Amino acid sequence: MKAIAFLFPGQGSQAVGMGQDLFQEYDFVREIFDAADDIAGARISQYCFKGPMETLTETVNLQPAVTAVNLACLAAIQRAGITCGFSAGHSLGEYSALASAGVVSMADTLRLVFKRGMLMHRESLKHKGAMSAIVGLAIEAVDALVKTGRQTGVVSVANHNSEQQIVITGAPEAVAAVSEAAKSQGARAIPLRVSGAWHSDLIKGAEKEFIAFLDTFRFDSPANTVIHNVTADRSDDGKEIQRLMALQLCSPVRWYDTIRRLVFEKVEMFVEVGPGKVLTGLLKKSVPADYAHTVFNISNMKTLEALVSELS
């Protein structure tokens, strides 16, 4: 049996039309989207299928929308009898990874991400933020630039996505200053179209309320190994996982270390479960060239059938 890891995308993977053919095919997928609509009190399913993109991309809609598609793809895979030994999710996607490991139920996953999106949106309206992708420098170099950049304002590392692709986050002036400093060292700095400074102290005002909300949920021990954003490590304790998810809100996403950990665990098949191919692109930059593995993206009926065919 191959060692399989399910990888779940987060914000930035959305596209109008996502999840629609699975919705049309399966009753259990319709139930997931109905739950997302009910929990959010909004037409999340319609934003996924018909847009408009501006409405879909609002954080308060986007978090339950991407999660609903992730969970729909996951449910379809599980219905086909395919299971995994490892799960990981990028930022928002980590909640879907918890669902795949049975740490929280699908309905509770949607409740958690809707609250998370609401709180993040609220804080982004209070504190104007920016994010930028720095490409071409190692994490140590970016950390040093960020440390200097804090003289200008709030700035930190949001995502260590691949060895030399690192996203910074914070106040617009500070992010701009660090971006310019990175360019002076030969890197590229790409401003990201976001509505807030995610994974930064500028949304720390959401932390206390979110911790209180997390405390109202039961987190079970995982049925498979989840590699967490905050530690790039596993935990078998539900309460500890709950603590890590509270920290995740304002902490860096250690995605590069997560993928390296999955390679260390000898994962042979990586399956991106959800919309887009963002995580597949990062895999290509992070998995050693001589490491034997296969990659699948499951976002619709056609890709689901390809995976089932491969494993049958």
Residues noted as catalytic:
91, 199
Roughly how many angstroms between the first and final C-alpha of the chain, as a whole number?
11
Among candidates 283, 27, 271, which has minimal Cα distance to 165? 283
CA gap 312, 301 in Å, rounded: 16
Tokens representing 212 are 């209180």
Check if the beta carbon of residue 167 is closer than 8 Å to that of residue 178: no
CA gap 262, 229 in Å, rounded: 13
**DSSP per-residue string spanning 191-243:** E---SS-TTSGGGGGGHHHHHHHHTTS--PPPSSEEPPTTTSS----HHHHHH
Q: What is the DSSP pairing of strand 165-170 with strand 130-135?
A: antiparallel
The length of the chain is: 312
Spatial strand order in the sheet of 155-162: 155-162, 165-170, 130-135, 188-191
Give the contacts of 270 (CB within 8 A, at least 6 positions apart): 4, 5, 7, 262, 280, 283, 287, 293, 294, 295, 296
SS3 category, 186: coil
